[in-house]
Amino acid sequence: MIWYKKIFYVLGILFFIFSGLALAPMAVDFCLGHDFPIEFLISSIFCCFLGGVLFFSCKFSESQVPDAREKILIILLSWISFPILGSLPFFLSSLQMSFVDSVFETTLLLTTTGSGVIYDTRSLSEGFLLWRSLLQLFGGIAFAASFIYIFPHLKSIYTPTFNEAGRSNYAFLSQIKTILLVYLSLAVMSSFLFVGTGISALDSICYSFSALSTGGAIPDNTYDISGISQRVSWILPVLMLIGGCPIVFITGLFSEGIGVFKNRQFICYVSLVFLLVMLLFALMSFPSTSSALDTLKRSFFMVTSSVTTTGIGLSASDAPDSFVNALLYIINFIGGCSGSCSGGIKIFRLMIMFQLIKSYLIRIVSTNVVHVPTYAGKKLEETDVTGLFSYFICYAVIAIVFSTALTFFEMELGKSFGAVMTCLNNNGPFFDLHRATALEMANLGIAAKIILTLSMIAGRVDFIPLFMVMLKPFWGKKFENFQ
C-alpha cells in the first residue's frame, strides 16, 4: 500500500529548501540597489507556505522509511513540481513572460539542458542571472540525489553500476552531504579562479555553476567562447569534465582516496574524452592557421562540452567543417557517467553494449569458446541485458511519439526529431546541426514548448521510472521492491 503522507512529507522538505534558494537572488538585487525584487520574495513565501502545509500535515515517524514505489513517486513529483515553482520569479517579474515560457525556461535550467527563451540575458538583473545559475546547480545535484535515492530499488537498470559501487546499501544522507561538500567546494574554488582571470564575481559564480552542473546556460546566452580569456577556456572544460564524472567517483573522493580513480566507468569516461580530443585535434590541425596549443584548447573545450552535454561554446561557426560539426553533434548523445549531473545515454550503457557485442562476435568466430560478458569484474546477468534494452526501447518510444506530436505543431519531421532527441538527452536543444538560439526557442508555439518540456523531464528521470508508474502492477498490492 502506498502511503501518500510519506510522499508529501518529503516533498514538503524539498519545497522548504527550494524556498531558501529564492532568497539568494533577492538579496543580491536588493544589495545592488535594484527595485525591490518582490517576485523572489513572493516565490519564496509561496514555496515556504506550500512546504509547511505538506510538512506539518503529513509528518510521520522517521522510522517509517518510504518504500520503492513511494521513492519513485517522490522523484517524479519533484521533477514535475520544481519547474512550476522555479518559474514563479520569471512569471511574476517585469520580463512579461507567459506561464508556459516561464516553465519552459525553468525546465531548461533545472534539467541542465541549458539555453533558454530569454535571448537578451545581459538585460536581466544580477539576481536573475544568479537565479538561472542556481537552478542549474540545484538541478544537477538533485539528479545525483535522485539517482542515489532510488538506486537500490532499480537494480534491473543499474545493476552493473550498483556492483561497481561495491556496496548494496547507500547511507542516503551521508552521500548527499558528501555530494554537497564536493560540489560547493569546487564551486567556491573555481569562482575564485575565475575572479583571478578578471571576470566579475557574479559571472564567475554563474560560469562555475553552469559548468559543474553541465547546464550550459551562461550569462551571455551566446554559447560562444571566443570572447573569454585563455585561462577561462581551460578552467571551464575541467569543471565540465568533473560534472560528468560517475556518482561513485564523487562520493568516494573522501572515503576511498586514490582508490576511487580505479573506477572502470571513470577510466572509460576519461579515456573516451582523451581519444576524442586527439581525433578532433588532428582533424582541426590541417589546415589551420592557429597555433597547436590554441587548436588543442578548442578541441578539448568542444569535446568536453559535447560529451558532458553542457553545450557551452557550441555553434555552427565553432567547427571548421561539416564533418567535425556532425561528430560533435553525435557525441552529444553520449552524456557523462551514471548519476552525474550530465544527461545523455551514459557511459556505462555504452560499456555494456560493447561487452555484449564483443561476446557475440567471439562466439561467432570461435564456436567452441564460451565467452561470458562481464562488467566491473562481474558477470552480466539477464536482468542487466533486459534493463539495457528496455531503456533503449523506452527511449525510442518517447522520441517517436513526441517527434510525431511536434509535426502537428509547426515543425517538420527532421527538425522535430532533432529537437526531441536533444531534449531527451538534456543537451540542447539542437535544430539541425547547430544549437538553437534563444530567439528560435522563444518563437516556438505553446504546444511545442509543452512537448519539449515533457521531453526534458522524461530524459531527466531516465524513462524507466516514468513508464513504471503507467503499469497496473506498480499500483497493485502485490508490488515487490526491486531488491
pLDDT tens for 160-211 read: 554 454 443 446 677 778 788 888 888 999 999 888 888 888 889 988 998 8
Element (H, E) at 379: strand 378-379
Query: Residues with Cβ < 8 Å from 268, sequence gap 6 or more?
Result: 347, 351
pLDDT tier at 430 (50, 70, 90 boundaries)?
A: low
CA-CA distance, 293 to 287, in Å (whole number)?
A: 15
CA-CA distance, 138 to 212, in Å (whole number)?
A: 11
pTM of this structure: 0.89
Per-residue confidence (pLDDT) for residue 259, from 0 to 100 = 72
Single out the residue of 143, 207, 23 nearest to residue 465, CA to CA. Answer: 143
pLDDT tier at 222 (50, 70, 90 boundaries)?
A: low
**What are the structural domain ranges in the chain?**
347-475
Q: Angle 172-196/232-243 helices, nearest 10 degrees?
A: 170
CA-CA distance, 442 to 463, in Å (whole number)?
A: 27
Query: Residues with Cβ < 8 Å from 333, sequence gap 6 or more?
Result: 344, 345, 421, 425, 427
The 10s digit of each residue's pLDDT in 69-87 is 888 888 899 999 999 999 9
Say what percent of the chain tops pLDDT 70. Answer: 84
HEC letters along 319-365:
CCCHHHHHHHHHHCCCCCCCCCCCCCCCHHHHHHHHHHHHHHHHHHH
DSSP bridge partners of 379: 374
Q: Beta strands 374-375 and 378-379: pairing type? A: antiparallel
The 10s digit of each residue's pLDDT in 436-476 is 667 777 788 899 999 999 999 998 888 877 888 888 888 87
- Ranges 220-229, 312-321, 375-384, 400-409, most confident: 400-409
CA-CA distance, 272 to 123, in Å (whole number)?
A: 39
CA-CA distance, 368 to 141, in Å (whole number)?
A: 48
